[in-house]
Amino acid sequence: MTVADLTYFEDLVQGALVESPGLTITETHIIQFQRLTGDWLTGGGGAVPDLLPLCISSGLGWRIAQPLLAVLAFLGFDWQFLRPLSVGDTIWSRSATLSKRAMREGGIVVESRDIVNQRDEIVQAGRLTLLVAKRPVAVA
Amino acid sequence: MSEPERRHFDEIEIGEEYESPGRTVTEADIVMFAGLSGDYNVLHTDAEFMKSSIFGERIAHGLLGLAIQSGLLTRGMRPYETIAFMGLRWKFKGPIKIGDTIRVQAKVVGKKETSKADRGVITLSRQVINQRGEVVQEGETDVMVARRQ
């Protein structure tokens, strides 16, 4: 068995756009999210709880056409909710590396991320700060 | 059972504080969140790999902690007459491990009028605190709340 390659700090190119495939938000997603959070105030009448698309976007990044990013830690983010979503809407994510700064262990990466709906409207957007691993030195 | 009456922008005052009950984060929470989000990062799903990591074991997804605190705080305050969740600024400061019990402390730190007379923006600062009193997540959330008509 081989372990899949990862995208390391060194591999990230500033400004390069990465687009994910889409995912249609269903009633099932909403019920699962409500059960998990215990928040029954949001998500009524087919409205999508605001934090759910953000959470789904973290998994959309697993289905892009490049190896998984070697994230050591998610440090923080700023986020805006721009438009509401309803059951049946399809979202995908578009992200880019805004800046990268090498540290002794790994490097700090600021990523911009838009969540886009089926009408190409940006529904949520923000900036995420991640600690990403450097490529391990090959042992001979 | 009737829902508690929702509070309007006018009634909410800067400095108000809220505190949620606690909730123990379980392995099941992490498994469900991995399934729902599609984020199966080894940090959250590979117990063997994580034994040799700086954390020593699997940790909860940061966004799982964020999602759980949003639900927890609804149990520690009367709901607002919310029109929309506008945005947030958030920091993940420490890991949440399986078996940790977290609670939320929040405070109203901002109250802003908008160009529309029927609504305003309330900013809450929130801290997610574990059973040892350590702040594991913190940040601010902005919500648009209706004025009383």
Report the gap between the CA of A13 and the closest CA in chain B (Å).
Answer: 22
Beta strands in chain B (DSSP E): 17-19, 23-24, 82-92, 101-113, 119-129, 135-146
Q: Which residue has the tokens 């890991």?
A: B95
Q: Which residues of A touch B (CB under 8 A)?
A: 23, 29, 32-33, 35-41, 50-51, 54-56, 58-63, 68, 71, 73-81, 84, 126
Does B64 map to a domain? yes
How many domains is chain B built from? 1
pLDDT for the residue numbered A1: 41
B-chain residue closest to A68, CA distance: B41
- Quote the pLDDT of residue A45: 76
Residue B80 is predicted with a pLDDT of 96
Which DSSP state fits A46?
Answer: G
Q: Which domains does chain A have, with CATH numbers?
A: 9-132 (3.10.129.10)
Determine contact, residues A92/A23, Cβ cutoff 8 Å.
yes
Task: Tell me whether residue B4 is in a domain.
Answer: no
pLDDT band for position A50 (cuts 50, 70, 90): very high
Rounded to a whole number of angstroms, the distance from the CA of B87 to the nearest CA of chain A is: 4
Determine whether the interchain pair A33/B67 forms a contact, defined as Cβ–Cβ distance below 8 Å: yes
**Separation CA B11–CA A46 (nearest Å):** 29
CATH for B119: 3.10.129.10
Amino acid of residue A112: S
- Tell me how close the Cα of B20 comes to any Cα of chain A, in angstroms: 12
In a domain, B38, yes or no: yes
Task: Determine, yes or no, domain membership for B40.
Answer: yes
pLDDT tens, A107-132? 999 999 999 999 999 999 999 999 99
Alpha-carbon torsion, ordered B124, B125, B130, B131, to 10 deg: -80
- Backbone phi, then psi, for A123, in 5-degree steps? -100, -30
**So what's the pLDDT on residue B63?**
98
Sign for the pseudo-dihedral over CA of B55, B57, B62, B68: negative
C-alpha distances (whole Å) from A81 to each of A40, A62, A75, A114, B80 are 19, 22, 20, 10, 18
Q: What is the pTM of this model?
A: 0.94
The separation between the first and the last C-alpha atoms of chain A, rounded to the nearest angstrom, is 19
Structure confidence at residue A4 (pLDDT):
67
pLDDT of residue A139: 66
Give the structural domain span for B63. Answer: 9-146
- CB contact (8 A) between residue A63 and residue B91: no
- Whether the pLDDT of residue A2 is over 80: the answer is no
CA distance B99 to B102: 10
The minimum CA-CA distance between B74 and chain A, rounded to whole Å, is 7
* Packing angle, helices B62-74 and A51-60, rounded to 10: 170
* B103, part of any domain: yes
Whether residue B27 is contained in a domain is answered as: yes
Whether residue B89 lies inside any domain: the answer is yes
Comparing C-alpha atoms, which of A124, A128, A127, A129 is closest to residue A80? Answer: A124
The low-confidence residues of chain B, meaning pLDDT below 70, are: 1-2
Nearest to B70 among A51, A71, A74 (CB): A51
